Amino acid sequence: MSFRFPKSAVLRHEAILLLVLVLEVVFFRVAGRNFGTVDNVANIVRHSVEIGLLALVMMPVILTGGIDLSVGSLLGLCAVLFGKLWRDAGLPWEVAALTTLGLGALAGGFNAALITGLRLPPLIVTLGTYSLFRGLAEAITHGTDAFTRFPETFLFLGTGRIAGVPTQAWIFVVLAIAVWLLVHRTTFGRSWRAIGFSPEGARYAGLSVGRRLTFAYVLAGLMAGLAAITYTARFGTAKADAGTGYELAAITAVVLGGTSIFGGVGSVHGTLLGVAAIAVLSNGLSRLPATMSNAAELSGLLTGVLLIVALAGGALPGWIAARRGRRNATPSVPATSGV
Amino acid sequence: MSPLLKLTSVTKSFGAVRALKGVSFDLRAGEVHALLGENGAGKSTLIKVIAGAHQPDGGTLEIGGQRVTQLTPQAAHRLGIACIYQQPALFPDLKVSENIGLRLEPISLLRRINWAARRERAAQLLQRLGADISPDAEAGSLSMPEQQLVEIACALGAGARIVIMDEPTASLTQTEQHRLFAVVRDLRADGVGVIYISHRLDEIFALADRVTVLRDGESVGTRDVVARPSSVVRRVPNERSARPHPGPLPQGEEVSQPATGLTKHATFADPLTTILPLPAGEGRGQGERVLEPAGLSDSSPPPITESELIRLMVGREVSSIYPAAESEPGEVVLSLRELGCTASGVKKITLDLRAGEIVGLAGLVGAGRTELARVLFGLTPADSGEIQLNGHPVSIRSPQEAVTQGIAYVPEDRRRHGVILEMPIAHNLTMAIHPRLFPGTWLRFGAERTHALEAMHDLAVKAAGPDALGGSLSGGNQQKVALARWLATRPRVLILDEPTQGVDVGAKSEIHKIIRRLAQEGMAVLLISSDLPEVLGMSDRIAVMRGGEIVAMMPGGSDAHAVMAAALGQDRGES
Amino acid sequence: MKRHFRELSVTGALLLLLLSLAIFAPNFFEPQPLLSRLTAAAPKLVVACGIALVILCRQIDISVGSLFAVCSVSAGLLAAAKLPLPVAVIASVTLGAVGGALNGALVAGVGLPSIVVTLATMVTWREGLRLTQQGVFVNLPDGVQWFGLPMAAGQGIVCGLALAVLLALAYALRFLSVGRFVYAVGSDAEAARLAGIRPRLVTFGVFVLLGALTGLAAVMNLVQSPQVDPGTGRMLELEAIAAVVVGGVAVSGGRGNVWGVLAGFLLLACITPALTYLDVKPYWDKAIQGAVILLAIVADGVRRRKLNR
């Protein structure tokens, strides 16, 4: 069955992205060292799971026309809370992990309460909680404390393999499918889209806009909690600076994946392609002799440029049409408060 | 002498929508030229073309005898055109004096601002209008009529020769209207040409010298207006320019006498203009201005009457087009007891609505009809009184609760609220019935498509298919989709807010038939409409609202004058 | 009076904070450490003023931190190449203006949302710098620090520059037509267009000015130390936005002024030293800053709800 959103522009966007991804893979297989090995593929997956998880939930948020800048900070806060619960409160790690997920959801709910309750712009609210969550993480760890020496059973989550595939990859695949279904196959996704296109229109259609928005932000918080767990398990330490800059990486992946920052348009598979394109790029660059030494910077730079190109490319046809059509069209300088 | 402004066969399209299909229009110095037409007839587009906000696609535009192309808002401003939009285009965060200053002062980047002079000038202009507004108030804190007065002050200050007023009285009280009319007459006496847009016929007869009617993007006629109830004999130096004939008193069967009792001061700056023939191609055969029988012309049509005006607007006689009720109303479904909502100004509404009955809500724009609908639909929940459904008191705090209780609301602004333009028709149609159509929240595309096809067939929606986007539909079809979305919820109470606004004539009568059929099937319908003939023709009973209250209940088919009089009141006063 | 409630309340909070410092930690007011602290903060104030313009115009810019670093390193490299300091200053300001122009062109010209545009340029500048500089500090030659003057004089110049920017912007925003256009565009872009103002041009100009101010701030920061850290300017955008928001500039545009920004900036800048002096653990610093920002945002939200009622 075909997707219900045959927005040709979106499909074209995703097709181009897929092509970019394939070209990347082909190029790095030819030019790179050990790029195609099983170990390296596992490596790519391991390294991109946290950003992938955040991108998965950033997508619905952006679909509603919102944004969540606080997920990276929340990842840090959750990692620290998890360490605190396990080490200082003496909880078994399983219980600590579950509690952390709950706290993440709670933090997402806090964002949602300010956004839906006080009708504040998501950009500004989450900018505030971006500072707050990171600040709380630093306060809890006194800025320097780090939690280490987690039990082996826990570290298995981040370093082990099941059937040859990294443990967290399984988690990611399950959640990716779940979010895909949620966005493309349930009334939640339909409502998010409607809200993204027209929040007032959705309200007049009898949709519970507040509750649906809250769900998107709570989901983002919950996933930040989960990402904190896999992050901690992967590195074996929980520090206050965990996940710094991850919110930007996640937003980049989502926008690169064809989701409109204005809301309403986008797909989860596009987001997954966006995550993959960035992950392959950064890993591949580290496998090229020429770029091996500064792969991280180069991939960051290319990601930024890609983002601008993707944005401008998406807007350019409309812009040209507007230029050609009527110069006096309503100015389309978008305002931030709508974001 | 050439007219101040002359448009010839102007066309304008937005994408596939042809907003103007060839409009010709002219404005002379010292006249009030009314522009009349139903919503969607192209009035707004036309004035935006004149104000330079839109570029016409075709036709010519002459200002002061000069052909003008590439008119921008700035150029229009320089040429002495001032436009007072319905929604005042003020800066809400800035002071009144600055709002006026930004409009009147030259646009240069590094000019020093003299705040004292700004304030002084603003105070003077406001005083000239007799407006009690502080120049230091923030524009956003002013009421709508106050904001309009600020706009007029801008026009005054700019020394505009052409002033466009878009439904300026829509939200004014009687006193404010009087003041506004006096201002308009002053402008006219100063030789300013005023384009006056209104759908209130009494105003047009009280104020205008000529009227042009737009219909479906075309100008269908330009005619003289003669003041009622009595015209004033003008003293003119040139005996050849005879005064307008008083003309037969219009029969006025549709709209009331002007409750204001205003008379026209026929003070023309340039009497010569009165004998100039209309430019060729103008209107449809109305050749010349009305003159004394002994005057120059012997074949000019008499001044227009109200019924003629209405006929021009609608394109046909308005009688006998409404489907009649064939059955008696049943039990009381919805019962309101002293319902009020302070936030939206709805006060003590007591009303019963029966199954199978259409109750019309008449009243002027801003009388509180949409506000009442929003209260019933839970968008602005009530804070006093009671809502009963089938005899049981219910609480409606949100649209979801309203839907659960069987109340449906088809909103007035369908492009913003009624239909989500970027989404396919099918999604729009099923949006209110997610829980029923998609149990367990899983989308069922097959069921959705079937439902959409059925609904589209039921209401004869003309579209490429259920996957076509809502925005690709014409106004009438969008309205049908908005209606079909709510019919799918099988409501007990259906609230329709301006269901035929901006809808073409054919779709309009289809929608009327659908509404009647729904009532016949036992639905209780609350019909809000500014189209008086529609309310009179469709309703079994009519509730007239004014100032947030129901001020009169009348039987269906009541006298238009009585309804209008109740809607206008003696003086609405400040609320 | 009611119009300036926010500015006054922030100033009140600031005075209260200073008063409690005067009582419990009078050595906070010793001249030399105070001047040093002010000098260190001055570049951030300049950036905050630029951000205030952008927010007044109903846009946002989160790329200033990265642009700040790029300008700092470029100016540092020029100075290290023994070019005269004025050349480095001009280059830094020009580079900043060009960076701002890129943002402005994408936002005002192409019509993209400013948050995403500046997110992209933020990443691009930062990573580009990391790539070329590889984290290596730039050592500045003698004669650059404090403009080759005695420290007190250099500090005077830096603080004086910040004050000059502040006063110039305060004047322009209040008394020059172009300043009022910024308010007009932020308040209602469509109404501005109808009034004959060109909103796109104003928006573009505001981004360019922010860029140029960022370049200037980079120089003001550069002269304070013997080296340039290529990682400089991290979190600068957030500190600046926080100061602007706390200072009462409405994120919905068209409302606020630089005096409020000054008050908000000083309030946030005083929290960190105040915590030290008042013996609150410094690791609470960021959390408290975050809470203050949220408080300011929530206060705005509550005020708006009341207005709408």
CA–CA dist B394, B378 (Å, integer): 11
- CA-CA distance, B285 to B41, in Å (whole number)? 21
- The nearest CA of chain A is from the CA of B227 a distance in Å of 40
- Block residue for tokens 């384009």: B195
d(CA B395, CA B168): 38
Q: Is C243 exposed, middle or buried (0-12, 13-18, 19+ CB in 10 A)?
A: buried
DSSP state at residue B436: H
Whole-number pLDDT of residue B267: 32
How many angstroms separate the CA of residue A250 from the nearest CA in chain B?
A: 26
| Residues B417-439: b if buried by 16+ CB within 10 A, e if exposed | bbbbbbbbbbbbbbbbbbeebbe
Per residue in B131-146, pLDDT (tens digit) is 788 999 999 888 777 8
Residue A102: other Cβ atoms inside 10 A:
13
Question: Cβ(B510)–Cβ(B321) under 8 Å?
Answer: no
Strands of B471-540 (E only): list them.
Answer: 493-497, 524-528
Helices vs strands, H then E, count in chain C: 12, 2
Most confident of A68-82, B124-138, C188-202: A68-82
Interface with chain C: mutation pick from A123, A124, A259, highest number of C CBs within 10 Å: A124
DSSP 8-class letter at B487: H
Cβ atoms within 10 A of the Cβ of B208, count?
A: 25
Q: What are the tens digits of pLDDT across the range C267-292?
A: 988 888 788 777 778 788 888 888 98
Q: Is the pLDDT of residue A57 over 50?
A: yes
pLDDT of A8: 56
Encode B512-541: b = buried (16+ Cβ within 10 Å), e = exposed: bebbbebbeebbbbbbbbbbbbbbbbbbbb
Neighboring chains of B (3 or more beta-carbon pairs < 8 A): A, C
C161-175 mean pLDDT: 96
- How much is the pLDDT for B225? 83
ipTM of the complex model: 0.87
In angstroms, what separates the C-alpha of A247 from chain B's closest C-alpha? 28
- C-alpha span between A162 and B164 (Å, rounded): 75
Q: What's the rounded mean pLDDT across residues A184-190? A: 96
Average pLDDT value for residue range A108-118: 95
Q: Which of A300, A305, A312 sits opposite C110 (nearest CB)?
A: A312
| pLDDT at A75 exceeding the cut of 50 | yes
What is chain A's length? 339
Sequence-separated (6 or more) residues with CB below 8 Å from residue A281: A24, A299, A302, A303
Alpha-carbon span B568 to B174, nearest angstrom: 9
- B3-51 tens-digit pLDDT: 889 999 999 887 666 788 889 999 999 999 998 876 567 888 888 899 8
Between CA A43 and CA A30 the distance in angstroms is 19
> Chain C neighbours among B 135-174 (CB < 8 Å)?
138
In this structure, are residues B27 and B81 in contact, taking their beta carbons and an 8 Å threshold?
no
Q: Which residue has the higher pLDDT, B272 or B62?
A: B62
* CA distance linking residue B21 with residue B59, whole number of Å: 10
**pLDDT above 60: residue A126:** yes
Q: What is the pLDDT of residue B503?
A: 74
| Beta pairing, strands B193-197 & B162-166 | parallel
Q: Do A265 and B469 contact (CB within 8 A), yes or no?
A: no
B242: left (phi over 0), alpha (psi -120 to 50) or beta: beta
Q: What are phi and psi of C201, to 5 degrees?
A: -65, -45
Write out the DSSP string of B132-168. ---TTSBGGGS-HHHHHHHHHHHHHHTT-SEEEEEST
β-pair partners for B469 = B424
Q: Is the dihedral of CA B571, B575, C1, C5 positive or negative?
A: negative
CA distance A307 to B216: 45
Query: What are the distances in angstroms from CA B66 to CA B33, B80, B192?
Result: 20, 13, 18
**B 17-36 residues inside an 8 A Cβ radius of C:** none
Residue B10 token pair: 């102007």
Q: How many CA atoms lie within 13 A of B79 on its CB side?
A: 25
| Predicted pLDDT at A143 | 79
For residue B450 the two structure tokens come to 């079937």
In angstroms, rounded to a whole number, what is the distance separating the alpha carbons of residues C77 and A115? 45
pLDDT for residue A319 is more than 80: no
Which amino acid is it at C202? V
| Report for A230-234, B561-565, C25-29: range of highest mean pLDDT | A230-234
Three-class SS of residue A292? Answer: helix
Closest CA to B325 of B560, B554, B541: B541
pLDDT tens per residue across span B293-313: 333 333 445 677 777 776 676
Q: Which DSSP letter does residue A50 get?
A: H
Bridge partner residues of B442 (DSSP): A186
| Listed residue (B506, B510, B448) closest to B480, CA to CA | B510
The structure tokens listed for A238 are: 């929980």
What is the pLDDT at residue A4?
Answer: 40
Rounded mean pLDDT of B112-129?
91
Mutate: best of A144, A262, A336, partner C, most C CBs <10 A: A336
By CB atoms closer than 10 A (0-12, 13-18, 19+), residue B461 is buried
C-alpha closest to that of C224 among C29, C38, C71, C97 = C38
A58 touches chain C (CB under 8 A): no
Range with the largest mean pLDDT of A48-62, B410-424, C105-119: A48-62
Q: Is the bond preceding residue B466 a cis peptide, omega within 30 degrees?
A: no
Average pLDDT, rounded, for chain B: 79
Whether residues B417 and A201 touch (CB distance < 8 A) is answered with: yes
B296 touching chain A per CB within 8 A? no
Please name the residue that has the structure tokens 């009285």. B169
Query: What band does B271 get if pLDDT is binned at 50, 70 and 90?
Result: very low
User: Given 1.10.10, 1.10.760, 3.10.450, 1.10.3470, which CATH number is that of A11-315?
Assistant: 1.10.3470
Tokens linked to B546: 């004014």
pLDDT at B241 over 60: no
Q: d(Cα A19, Cα A21) in Å, to the nearest integer?
A: 5
Q: Which range, of B174-188, B275-289, C157-171, averages the lowest pLDDT?
A: B275-289
pTM: 0.81
- Could B420 and A202 be called an inter-chain contact, meaning their C-beta atoms sit closer than 8 Å? yes
| Mean of pLDDT values over B326-355 | 90
For residue C218, give both structure tokens. 């980079």
Closest CA to B21 of B57, B72, B61: B57
- Which residues have a Cβ under 8 Å from the Cβ of C241 and sit 6 or more positions away? A127, C51, C55, C60, C62
Q: Name the least confident of A159-163, A267-271, A302-306, B511-515.
A: A302-306
pLDDT, tens only, B503-543 = 766 778 889 999 999 999 999 999 998 777 788 889 999 99
Tokens standing for B157?
């200050």
How large is the average pLDDT for residues A215-230?
A: 98
Q: Facing residues of B196 across strands?
A: B34, B165
Residues 6+ apart with CB under 8 A from B498: B39, B412, B528, B529, B530, B531
Per-residue pLDDT at A338: 33
Cα B6 vs. chain centroid, distance in angstroms? 24
- Mean pLDDT over C67-72 rounds to 97
| Backbone dihedral region for residue A73 (phi beyond 0: left; psi -120 to 50: alpha; all else: beta) | alpha
Residue C82 DSSP class: T
Q: What value does the mean pLDDT take over residues B265-286?
A: 34
HSE value, Cβ hemisphere, 13 Å, CA-based, for B293: 2
Report whether pLDDT(C115) > 70.
Answer: yes
Contact assessment for residue B61 and residue B7, using Cβ atoms and an 8 Å cutoff: yes
**Do the Cβ atoms of C267 and C14 come closer than 8 Å?**
yes
**Who's near C72: CB < 8 A, 6+ residues apart?**
C92, C218, C219, C221, C222, C228, C230, C232, C233
pLDDT of residue C8 exceeding 90, the answer is no
pLDDT at B411 over 60: yes
Q: Whole-number mean pLDDT of chain A? A: 88
| Selected residue with higher pLDDT from B561 and B210 | B210
- Mean pLDDT, rounded, for A238-244: 91
Give the residues across from B494 on adjacent strands: B408, B525
Reply yes or no on whether the pLDDT at C224 is more than 80. Answer: yes
- By Cβ distance, the residue of B89, B93, B94 closest to C190 is B89
CA A264 to chain centre: 17
What part of B 43-72 touches A (C-beta under 8 Å)?
52-55, 72
More confident residue, B320 or A103: A103
pLDDT band at B172 (very low <50, low <70, confident <90, very high): low
Residues in chain A with CB shorter than 8 Å from the CB of C289 are 131, 135
Domain map of chain A by residue range? 11-315
- The burial of A74, by beta-carbon neighbours within 10 Å (0-12 exposed, 13-18 middle, 19 or more buried), is given as buried
| CA gyration radius, chain A | 20
B187 close to B9: Cβ distance less than 8 angstroms: no
* Encoded amino acid at A26, one letter: V
Q: How far apart are CA B187 and CA C275, in angstroms?
A: 66
Per-residue pLDDT at A140: 93
Q: Which domains does chain C have, with CATH numbers?
A: 5-20+29-304 (1.10.3470)
* Alpha-carbon gap: C198 to the closest alpha carbon of chain B (Å): 10
Highest mean pLDDT among A314-328, B106-120, B167-181: B106-120
Please determine, for residue C121, whether its predicted confidence score (pLDDT) is greater than 90: yes
What number of residues does chain C have? 309
Contact: C187, B89; criterion CB under 8 Å: no
Q: So what's the pLDDT on residue A318? A: 63
